[in-house]
Amino acid sequence: MKKNGFTLIELLAVIVILGILATIAVPTIIDLINNSKTSTLEEQKNTIVQAAKNWGTGNAKKLPDGVCDLSIDFLKSEGYLNKNKEVIDPTTDKVMTGCVRITFDSSSNQYKYNYVDECGTLCN
């Protein structure tokens, strides 16, 4: 008598092998996704900071001697960021509401721009 198909033991062996592969692959894939989201967030922050620098270049007389913040909404309203597109934090899938903090560094006689999650005194 000729047998066609697989035995139960062969099927169970394949399922066990697939389970082992999934156990190894899934954490690696999750790490890749999380690293990609973190990298995208940093790129978004850099884009926002660059928009603030562009604003600062065109509005040098409005820059403070101390510290002030530019909100994302302000940069959008001034046309330095896309007005029609929300800036989403890829790590939380929520709208970003932070600011770019502009600080005058008297030792180097330059302005420093840093993204911060909470806004303080606004420049505008």
Give tens-digit pLDDT for 32-41: 999 999 999 9
Per-residue pLDDT, 95: 92
Residue 108: pLDDT band by 50, 70, 90 thresholds? Answer: confident
What's the mean pLDDT in 69-83? 92
Per-residue pLDDT, 99: 94
pLDDT at 1 > cutoff 60: no
Q: How many CB atoms lie within 10 A of CB 80?
A: 20
Q: What is the dihedral of CA 8, 9, 10, 14, to 10 degrees?
A: 100
Single pTM value for the model: 0.80
Q: What is the dihedral of CA 104, 70, 123, 107, to 10 degrees?
A: 0
Pick the closest to residue 76 from 47, 43, 103 (CA basis).
47
What ranges do the domains of the chain cover?
A: 8-116
